[in-house]
A = this chain, B = another copy of it.
Amino acid sequence: MRNKQVIFRDFLAKGAFPKESDMEVTESTVDVTRAVAEGSKGVLVKNLYLSCDPYMRGGMRKLTDPAESYAASFQPGSPVTGFGVARVLESGHRKFEKGDLVWGLTGWEEYSLLPAPETCFKIEHTDVPLSYYTGLLGMPGLRAYAGFFELCSPKKGETVFISAASGAVGQLAGQFAKLFGCYVVGSAGSKEKVDLLKNKLGFDEAFNYKEESNLDAALKRYFPEGIDIYFENVGGKDYNLEQPKGVPNLIQISMKEVRMEGFSVLDYYHLYLKFLNMVLPQIKEGRIVYVEDTFKGLENGPAALVGLFSNCDVGKQVILVSRE
């Protein structure tokens, strides 16, 4: 059977901005009935939704030191890899059987052979949009949950600032903080996103950082008594710049007794079921909403991924490959 694929062409030069032409949509073939070899513990899946996430920028860079990035490099000439929702067509793994829905790491193609599917989660709850398992109910959701509740040690009434607040993680971190009883302000890069934050996602305040000539003044305006928690979703301009801009006031870490902590969501997978039990009722009762920006068709994958780095995205970027 034909297998449309989004192929990663070659590593980007240091400091280069990702372009659609760094990827290529081609076609290969797959024998869907005999893809899983005798004795293999792999599964063959049909990909339904694919996720665009900022960490994927790291996969486009040739690494000399594997410790340099948490994202394994993409393979030039092979499909882009990332999180997705898929249906099992054939299984050599006892945890999965034909027809199961799963989410986890997969390839940007119609059909993927996953040699080590045990890192995928089986999807048990299908009374919510399946695409949510790339975002709200997937890795970004768990990242927002673990980041806010496990790392930020929030207290009711604390003030919370969230950057990239309309993104896949930010919109959830903000809603979690609001439900917890915090005062929440978000920043984003367009009027449309700011409206979304204030009118749909329930943030107390939001502002367009591009319209603020003095960001310090903007933060003072919204936080006259300071910020207790800053949930950082941007990584500065570091993702794409060759010479990242330095942070000049790091001594404030000492002056203001700040704790700054980076984390990998992989260390919090054990909390996934706890997270799901908390968040599913909130979704059904309408107390948590989620904004997605869906790109229909695998051939629009490159545009969706590039859009993530050019501030065109609103909400979670998802690629719809197939509805079933």
Contact = CB atoms under 8 A, between A and B. Distances in A.
A113 to B, nearest CB: 29
A293 interface: no
Contact of A259 (B232, B260, B264): B260
Given A67-B226, A248-B245, A249-B244, A235 B254 contact: yes
Interface string A225-262: 01000001001101100011111111111111111111
Interface string A252-282: 1111111111111001000000000000000
Contacts of A236: 250-251
Nearest to A252: B262
A226 B260 CA distance: 20
Contacts of A259: 259-262
Contacts of A258: 261-262
A208 B261 CA distance: 30
A70 interface: yes
Interface string A101-116: 0000000000000000
A253 B246 contact: no
Given A256-B67, A262-B258, A243 B247 contact: no
Interface string A65-87: 00111100000000000000000
Contacts of A254: 232, 235, 262-263
Contact of A255 (B70, B232, B243, B261): B70
A206 to B, nearest CB: 23
Contacts of A263: 254, 257
A243 B248 CA distance: 8
A19 to B, nearest CB: 22
Contacts of A245: 246, 248
Give the size category of A's interface with B.
Answer: 20 to 34
Contacts of A232: 254
Given A67-B256, A258-B261, A261-B258, A248 B251 contact: no
A248 B248 contact: no
Contact of A253 (B248, B257, B262): B262
A68 B216 CA distance: 14
Contacts of A226: 67
Contacts of A260: 253, 259-261
A214 to B, nearest CB: 15
Given A226-B67, A258-B262, A262-B257, A250 B238 contact: yes
B248 A250 contact: no
A96 B239 CA distance: 59
Nearest to A71: B255
28 contacts: A67-B226, A67-B256, A70-B255, A232-B254, A235-B251, A235-B254, A236-B250, A238-B249, A243-B248, A244-B248, A244-B249, A245-B248, A246-B246, A246-B247, A247-B248, A247-B250, A253-B262, A254-B262, A254-B263, A256-B262, A257-B261, A257-B267, A258-B261, A259-B259, A259-B261, A259-B262, A260-B260, A260-B261
6 tightest CB-CB pairs across the interface, nearest first? A246-B246, A254-B262, A238-B251, A253-B262, A246-B248, A259-B261
